[in-house]
Amino acid sequence: MKKKIVAGNWKMNKTFKEAEDLLFGIADALISGRPDDVEVVVCPPALYLELATDVATEHDFSCGAQNLSEHEAGAYTGEISAAMIRSTGAAYVILGHSERRTYYGEHDQLIGKKILQALRHELIPIYCCGEVLEEREAGRHFQVVEKQISDALSGLDADAFSKVVIAYEPVWAIGTGRTASPEQAQEMHAFIRKVLASHFGEHAANDTTILYGGSCNAANARELFANPDVDGGLIGGASLKAEDFVKIVNSF
Ligand SMILES: O=C(CO)COP(=O)(O)O
């Protein structure tokens, strides 16, 4: 089912005490007011997931991880499995983020395996796609995003899309302060829905929640979320301050 979501990707930030403060800060700010129909998702480093889900359960928000292993279990030093993440009470997992593609060599085929692994363990993948600046300037952004979607999601049945979130994150907008314009975001989100319809059917297109990510903040969220195909945001920097993050939640 398509829904409104605001998700915070903390990336590799916060010590334990800082994470605790931020989680309680978010909980407090949400108590002061929030729209009923927006799901709030917090994605801290995996180390803090159990703590986060404890706070989240009491304050009606959800949690997600930032990555998982494509393997089930076993001798994979340093990896974290889907079952482990699910056992903390987390409901979501960010997969295919451009930072993982760039710094850790993740590619669509591997990400596709991780998506299936997430679904197998009842985690909702937030699949990130988006072009780099060169690709946009060359007019290849639609082609790039279509390929990322068809390659990584090719193993899914049409029914799975009710349990998949897509985040369009143009790489040139991530952490740069340069946001996609509301028109650019809407244009790409509508295109993603068209791609989903043509590869997986109308249901997949209508069921899938599509978030925008890339320098989304309290000042520009309202304009971005006002677009018919923008179902919410995946927030990086602005999710690290409780007040800013909850302002974004209240931008619908
Ligand atoms: O990468 C992002 C979320 O996953 C976006 O990061 P910023 O909001 O810091 O640009």
pLDDT tens per residue, range 163-202: 999 999 999 999 999 999 999 999 999 999 999 999 999 9
Q: For 19-40, how does the pLDDT look when each residue is reduced to its tens digit (9 = 90+)?
A: 999 999 999 999 999 999 999 9
188 Cα: distance to centroid of ligand 1 (angstroms): 17
Q: How far apart are the first and last CA of the chain?
A: 18
Please list every protein residue whose CB sits less than 6 Å from any atom of ligand 1: 9, 97, 169, 174-175, 213-216, 234-238
Q: For 58-86, how does the pLDDT look when each residue is reduced to its tens digit (9 = 90+)?
A: 999 999 999 999 999 999 999 999 999 99
**CA angle in degrees (0–180, nearest 5) for 99-105-111:** 80
Residue 137 has pLDDT above 90, yes or no: yes
Rounded CA separation 209/75 (Å): 35
CA dihedral 183, 10, 152, 178 (to 10 degrees): 30
The pLDDT of residue 197 is 96
The mean pLDDT value of the chain amounts to 97
From 98, 100, 169, 240, the mutation candidate for ligand 1 (largest count of ligand atoms within 8 A of CB) is 169
Establish whether this prediction's ipTM goes over 0.85. Answer: yes
243-251: average pLDDT: 98
The pLDDT of residue 1 is 80
Residue 237 counted as an annotated binding residue = yes
Residue 128 alpha carbon, nearest atom of ligand 1: 4
Residue 237 alpha carbon, nearest atom of ligand 1: 9
Fold of 4-249: TIM Barrel (3.20.20)
Rounded CA separation 127/153 (Å): 9
Nearest CA-CA partner of 48 in 68, 25, 19: 19
What confidence category does residue 45 fall into, taking pLDDT thresholds of 50, 70 and 90?
very high
| Ligand 1 atom 7 nearest Cα | 236
From 174, 176, 178, 241, the mutation candidate for ligand 1 (largest count of ligand atoms within 8 A of CB) is 174
106-129: average pLDDT: 98
146 Cα: distance to centroid of ligand 1 (angstroms): 21
Residue 175 alpha carbon, nearest atom of ligand 1: 10
88-106: average pLDDT: 98
Residue 217 alpha carbon, nearest atom of ligand 1: 8
Residue 227 counted as an annotated binding residue = no
The pLDDT of residue 102 is 97
54 Cα: distance to centroid of ligand 1 (angstroms): 25
